[in-house]
A and B are shown apart, each in its own frame.
Chain A
Amino acid sequence: MQRHVRTLTTSLLLTMPLCAAEPVVSRLTVEPAAVELSGRRQRVQLVVSGHRSDGSVIDLTHQARVTVEHRGTVGVQRGRVLPLANGTTRLTISASGQVLQLPVRVQRLEQTPPVSFRNGLLASLSKQGCNSGGCHGSPSGKGGFRLSLRAFDPTLDAQTLIREQFARRVNVFDPDKSLLLRKPTLQVAHGGGQQLRRHDPAYELIRDWIADGCPRDAEDSPRCVRTEVFPRDRFLKSPAVSQQLKVVAHFSDGSSRDVTHLAVYSSSNETLAEVDVAGWVTGTAVGQVGILVRFLDQMQATRLTFLKDRPGFVWNEPPVINEVDRHTFARLKEMQIVPSPLLTDGQFLRRVTLDVTGLLPTVKETRAFLADRRPDRRARLIAGLLAGEDHARFWAGRWADLFRMTRKQLGSTGVDKFHRWLVAAVRDNMPYDRFVRSLLTAQGDTFANPAANYYRAATDVEDATETTARHFLGIRIQCAKCHNHPYERWTQENYYGIAAFFNRVRRGKPDSAGNLVVWVARSGEISRPRGGNAVPWLPLTGNAKLPDPESDRRLALADWLVRKDNPLFARVEVNRLWSMLCGRGIIEPIDDFRASNPPANPPLLDWLAGEFQRSDFDRRHILSLILNSRTYQLDSLATDQNRHDQQLFSHAVAHRLSAEQVLDAICQVSQVPEQFGKLPAGTRATQLATPEDAPAFLRIFGKPSRETSCDCERQTGSTLSQHLTLVNGSLVSGKITHGKNRFRRLISAGRGDREILEDLYLAAFCRLPNSEELRVGLEYVGGAGNREKAHEDIQWAVINSREFLFRN
């Protein structure tokens, strides 16, 4: 059971006490409308909502006073109704000056049914966290006691709990003496410490299950098929800072029951809101959070948004250039966050050129753009950059990272052909559905059909399944290979359902020239670890309809992917494009689409996905929409109004240049090109086809060696060895002491120090030095004995400065 310690968070604290001018609660409502209790172990959670005159809703469950008409029928603790005796009564709920009546009926207390193994016992063990990943749910179990992770395999658990070690864990004659109870309550030494108390609902369930003789479920016993969380999505405006949740489980026999006390809750962002074991959510900062509610293998998520009127907040109506801005600013206005101002022309030029082509603009391009006065100069620049060859080569490299393009994996000719194919796909703006379809359904020679290299890099069924799910469906299906997904409703069967599309892909041996055949066998099934053959299954739709048993199943997967009603495909790609340009996805991380990880701005993501589908998956159209939007062109300098916002793009996210961009930028600023082995002179680091051509410098700065197909292999954090390389390394010192580098060429052309400094600033920062920088520079050169050495030091300082090494 996860123990929470209230942690001090640095972000803005929601003040708890009520403010002065407070809208009055005009009406009360309660969920459920009537309370039905049968059996003594049932509980019903009440959720009392106060509706205020300004339309907002406040949760009053924990402030309401509840009185029972016929005492002794039911008990009420913090809104939770417990049955005491058969009979009917009425509850009177009063809060904030309003009163509400609620009928209650308690019946058949004496005929309480035996505890169900799955819905009762396993649910309790999951509630108390016994079968979590760090405890008995780990692959090797703990202390010789192993349960399936979060009860995904009831038959194994039944065997362990009832039969294993001569049933010493359960004592049917004296249930309270069972090890299953004495260990977690620390009556006996327990490695995991105290995880259960006598008054916990789970205790009673476990005890009654043992007392009932540890019954297994009958074959046809009702299974939980769906859970429902109330309230679904709700905005909570200060002073509403908390919300009680209610969870109802629906079973295969049509019955339903309140399981609020047995569900497991977790918050998607602990800094914004925390949830306790009883399902009570308390907000600690402004923002939106997804609460994941898990009951056995059913998962639901509810979105709660905490708002607080910021004193002195004035919405400055920033101009809206396109729909992207409209959605972003609507959200910011709602969350009362004022966006940062627009970038200057120089900053914009540097940012967009780095993002689109990976390179710094040349001094000539910078001077031309700074002198350009045309109102649509930014749009023209964007269109020009997107149509250029540098863009195609830079963005092809990003796909190459995901498809593990190395000589070791694909052979040297294979690498060149696949790289050429990727570059052509980006240059010709190949529609994204055709791009993915030609990769997924690729067959034949990897030379004749370079797209077939997708299956040469994904060397087996698991690889192909996980790579496809991660990049084109945004789901981390690999978590469901050995057990159910911990935070989403993907089960192990779903994993093998997707794998069933790929198990017929066959790969021949490469011939002497390095060519390899990828083809699809006409038959063959993949078996599930827990028996039977997996049937091809499509997320959110069910089993796929296959035209004929010998056809290539991947076609069915590709057809489903591009359908307009597929909620994942378009969203995953537009989210990836957004993340590549803005440094962070609307859903972050970009390969983890699930209900419990909600998008920061749902309408924006939905609109972008819709626009992507309407434009027949035109990536360049989406890129130019984002680049032309004011949201993209906001300054990265946060203001006091939006410093705390990390999710809603009120200001740009500054991050260090990628390894390849750092090397190209240093070469460009020093005008000393880098030679990569036998590759033609002038090849750029950002355009290298394979890491095997990359010098050690790039590995130190985190360039991935493409061992796995995950973009996490690219280390983006700073390390000591990176800075030692910049401060004291041979590459940088070689560039600044080079005979024909930038400032030495200007010196030999007889240029003055001021001109040299201005040229250096235009090259490195796309702007002229301000008066202070100019003064510091000239003073340094004047004071130094040797003019060339002084300029070397200035070039060194610029290369090591944060503004140069960051994409601001």
Chain B
Amino acid sequence: MAVHPRFRPALVAVVLLAGPGLVDRLPAAVTLQKLSPGAVSPGRVTRLTCRGTELETARTLWTSFPAEVRKVSAKGDGAGQATFEVTLPAESIGRGAIRVVTDRGVSNVRLLLRESLTSHTDDRPADEKPLTLPLAIDGSVVAGEPDRCRIQLKAGERLTVDLWARRLGSSLDPVVRVIDPGGRTVIAEDDTPGLAGDVGFSVLAADEGVHTVSVTDVRRRGGDAYRYRLRLARYVPLTVAYPLFVRSGQPARLRLLGPGTTADRAVPGLPAGGTVWVGGPVGPGGGRALLSVQVDDRERGVESEPNDDGSKANPLAAGAGVSGLLDRPGDRDWFRITLKKGQRLQLVGRTASLGVAGRLYMRLCNAEGGTLVVAPQQAATRCVLDYTAAADAEVRLLVEDLQRRGGPGFAYHLDCRLRTADFDLGVAADRLQAVAGGSLSVKVTAARRDFQGAIRLSVEGLGKNVMLAGELIPAGKNETTLKITLPAGLEPGSLASLRIVGSGQLDTPPVGPTVKELSSIKYDRGDLGIFDDFISDKKGGLNFAEYDVELANAGEYLVLLRYAAAAQRVAVMKLDGRVVNSSIMSKTTGSWSTKTARWFNEGLVKFPKGKSVLRLEKVGVFSHLTAIRIALPAPRKKQPGRVIHARARVTVPLRKDLGGMPFVPRELDGTVLLSVGKK
């Protein structure tokens, strides 16, 4: 059973505040709208101008990558602009995220690149001298009118175009066109497979002269939200850093693949849970391919050819992940998985969400090759196959490209795990503000997959004495408003990052000694005579039974109900008017006669010290309830109940701010940034 060990994220990320009214409202949102230039250069100091709102009290930048930031004053600084000097270590490349930190709070996130190409803006004079490679252009498209840039190329010179828009959170759906000196279109490229809607290609200039590179939106839209960074260089393009996942803490050798070229890159041991960027070989004059690899703490393998037919399938263990390559058209990869009866297998294949081309077709067969199940095709980018083993058996999985394509760009990553009842958590805000010792509340929602039990939330990253309220998502419910009271010791003006983790009890803990036993109420139903097992007090309508409970000391107790039921009559349990379990008495005993009644453990309920009122409530008739018992849970030490954990993700607020980006960068997801205000 997969348990997420405690981990410490290397990267902290935060996104625009969302969900008005959920958090005590900030006076006016601190926003970051435009960055220029669109990239910071490694190994040098870059003067970065940030435009947005409420920036007059800007102090520094939060960055998702190690960097030194110094606030400087420049012409035009004020509420709408702040300028910083950012110094990066020499080897820092790839994509990164930044926010402006002000006394009034933290801005929304903006993505930018870390690379050495010299940046130009797109509003250059039209008659200006043609530029020479390599270079980069930061700009935003005007509605219906292409952005043009004139470059000087020699005959046979390589022009590599790499346009970042969707991958930086822009709403632009780019079309890039290269026009030769004679006015003919050399190439016009729309969605390059694997770049999430962006464009990347490499051509050799046929003849000497001034070429024009034009960028437009496919639907002729325009405006600030349609920004892009157009990288033009001479390096040989690469498409995949393989394998796609490496295990944290261990050095790994990566193969960088591209059309007609490969390179090797060694990677030191890395902390888990993020994305690491590797650069391809530097092209003449500078500029290199930027590729990413995911890092996490799980068992990561690589497929080994030949596995082109069922008999040569690679073994695949539950809980493991494997990267694969479809290196030639029609390439098929087979895997073997041994399952026990009743185990629920889930195979998740990823391509586009990891920035590689291709779409997977997955088919699970039995040993003889007969099809068991084919993964459904949806427009979503992950290919998910679910199968419940009918008997102990070895099954075979076929993985191939939906259109049987293959080549250097076609890699994939396959996760194999046994599905148990579990859940995901989502938090509604990516950045919060509060005063030391003050309190704030944020909405947390749960997406349940077969797990109906209660979920207990806890907060990591703020130290010990944090007071929480509303931290229990009751069984059957899917959301709560978590109220966090900050420890007094937080230093005002500081920035803290917190993570919300939820844990759920898979099976209720074993029953310990009984503390209290209550018998059912005797009552006269009138038409059906006197009952000693309570089923209902009126014809139809709301039925309920209330019991006075007095306990010596507060704490979590198990509530057990003894009842007989031929059919499922689910009821609700309340304590002092508050729902503590919304699906009780859901079991059956085969008949209504109280002779078949049995004890059923309805799970933990937190009782206060002294008197309280326990109420069972249901619309319509109850099952035949004969007795109620309140008991202490058996001490955990002997055999701890299976507990599942999940880290709250911040996908929804992140996606709202990152424009057309189909999948949120893994390194940004999961952490909420808290800025501690002055008193």
Contact = CB atoms under 8 A, between A and B. Distances in A.
Report A-B touching, CB under 8 Å: yes
Interface in B650-670: 660, 662
A509 B378 contact: yes
B530 interface: no
B402 A519 contact: yes
A413 B191 CA distance: 12
Contact of A509 (B363, B371, B379, B402): B379
B219 A413 contact: yes
B72 interface: no
Given A417-B190, A420-B190, A424-B188, A445 B379 contact: yes
State the majority secondary structure of interface residues on A.
loop
A447 interface: yes
B566 interface: no
B173 A413 contact: yes
A515 interface: yes
B361 A428 contact: no
Interface string B391-423: 000000000001110000000000000000000
Nearest to B193: A448
A696 to B, nearest CB: 24
Interface string A275-300: 00000000000000000000000000
Given A413-B219, A517-B378, A443 B144 contact: no
A413 B218 contact: yes
A444 B218 contact: no
A174 interface: no
B402 A443 contact: yes
A519 B185 contact: no
Contact of A680 (B144, B361, B377): B144
A393 to B, nearest CB: 14
A510 interface: yes
A516 B377 CA distance: 10
B131 interface: no
Most chain A CB neighbours (cut-off 10 Å) among B197, B363, B377, B380: B377
Interface of B: 143-144, 173, 175, 185, 188, 190-191, 193, 197, 218-220, 359, 361, 363, 371, 374, 377-380, 402-404, 660, 662
A508 interface: yes
A517 B359 CA distance: 10
21 contacts: A417-B190, A417-B218, A420-B218, A444-B402, A445-B359, A445-B379, A448-B193, A508-B378, A508-B379, A509-B378, A513-B660, A516-B379, A517-B379, A517-B402, A519-B361, A522-B361, A522-B363, A522-B374, A679-B220, A680-B144, A680-B220
Contact of A447 (B144, B197, B371, B403): B197
A416 B185 contact: no
Given A428-B185, A443-B402, A447-B197, A511 B218 contact: no
Contacts of A517: 359, 377-379, 402
Nearest to A555: B404
A506 B374 CA distance: 13
Interface string A422-463: 001001100000000000000111011010000000000000
A444 B359 contact: yes
A448 B166 CA distance: 14
Contacts of B377: 506, 508, 517, 519
A412 interface: yes
A450 to B, nearest CB: 8
Nearest to B357: A448
Nearest to B177: A424
A77 to B, nearest CB: 67
B219 A416 contact: yes
Interface string A490-531: 000000000000000010111101011101011100000000
B541 to A, nearest CB: 43
Closest A-B pairs by Cβ, 9 of them: A511-B379, A680-B144, A443-B403, A448-B191, A416-B219, A515-B379, A519-B402, A508-B377, A416-B218
A417 B371 CA distance: 36
B403 A519 contact: yes
A713 B667 CA distance: 54
B274 to A, nearest CB: 27
B173 A511 contact: no
A521 B363 CA distance: 11
Contacts, number: 64
B185 A427 contact: yes
A594 B402 CA distance: 38
Contacts of A510: 379
Contacts of B371: 523
A620 to B, nearest CB: 14
A506 B191 CA distance: 22
Given A413-B219, A417-B218, A420-B175, A511 B380 contact: yes
Nearest to A516: B379
Contacts of B361: 519, 522
Given A420-B218, A443-B402, 4 more contacts: A416-B218, A443-B403, A521-B374, A680-B143
Nearest to A427: B185
A679 B143 CA distance: 10
B402 to A, nearest CB: 5
A670 to B, nearest CB: 24
B330 to A, nearest CB: 9
A412 B220 CA distance: 12
A447 B175 contact: no
B191 A444 contact: no
Given A416-B219, A519-B361, A444 B403 contact: yes
Nearest to A682: B144
A447 B191 contact: yes
Nearest to A428: B185
Nearest to B145: A680
A412 B173 CA distance: 13
Contacts of B379: 445, 508-511, 513, 515-517
A622 to B, nearest CB: 21
Contacts of B175: 420
Nearest to A412: B219
A547 to B, nearest CB: 11
Interface string A664-702: 000000000000000110000000000000000000000
A427 B662 CA distance: 32
Nearest to A448: B191
Contacts of A513: 379, 660, 662
Nearest to A511: B379
Interface in A263-284: none
Contacts of A448: 191, 193
A644 B351 CA distance: 66
A427 B143 CA distance: 23
A257 to B, nearest CB: 53
B216 to A, nearest CB: 10
A745 B598 CA distance: 98
A741 to B, nearest CB: 25
A450 B189 CA distance: 12
A761 to B, nearest CB: 33
B210 to A, nearest CB: 21
Contacts of B193: 448
Contacts of A523: 371
Contacts of A412: 219
Contacts of B404: 552
Nearest to A413: B219
A373 B361 CA distance: 64
A419 to B, nearest CB: 10
Nearest to A521: B374
A33 B97 CA distance: 95
Interface centre among B190, B197, B660 (most CB of A within 10 A): B190
A315 B33 CA distance: 78
Contacts of A509: 378-379
Nearest to B216: A420
Contacts of B197: 447
